[in-house]
A = this chain, B = another copy of it.
Amino acid sequence: MAADRDQVLETIQSYVDLVGKGTADDILALYAEGATVEDPVGTEVRTTRESIREFYAAIEPLEQESRLVSARVAGNEAAFQFELITRVGEQTYTLAPIDVMTFDDAAKITTMRAFWSNADMDISG
């Protein structure tokens, strides 16, 4: 059994939309029980629901826009690039990470790993 490709693409699109405009709980609803988050890759892996919630709660109040750039699905795994624009006062922070996710058969996220570093952050304003 594999997750349906269209369902996986739908989860990815929802994830990108919600990182921009959703609540931490909205995002958490896309994750399967027992899911893990490593963002950015190389930092400690979040393995509990609370620690994942905390991660997204930190960006929830920010003024952000997001858009999916490109997604590639291979069975129950996918990689995609998205752009996240954050406005803080006069400053605009633009980051376009490449995320790698695995999914369960219902296309819920089981693992998320985000590839980016500070060198990829554009600051203007």
Residues in chain A within 8 A of chain B (CB atoms): 5, 40-42, 69-70, 72-81, 96-98, 100, 114-117, 119-120
Complex contact B96–A70 (CB within 8 A): yes
Interchain nearest-CB distance for A75 vs B (Å): 4
Complex contact B117–A42 (CB within 8 A): no
Complex Cα gap A75–B100 (Å): 15
Q: From B5, B73, B79, give the contact of A79 (CB < 8 A).
A: B79
User: Residue on B with the closest CB to A114?
Assistant: B74
Complex Cα gap A78–B112 (Å): 14
Query: Can you give 8 A-B contacts (C-beta < 8 A)?
Result: A5-B117, A41-B77, A42-B75, A70-B81, A74-B115, A74-B117, A79-B98, A81-B81
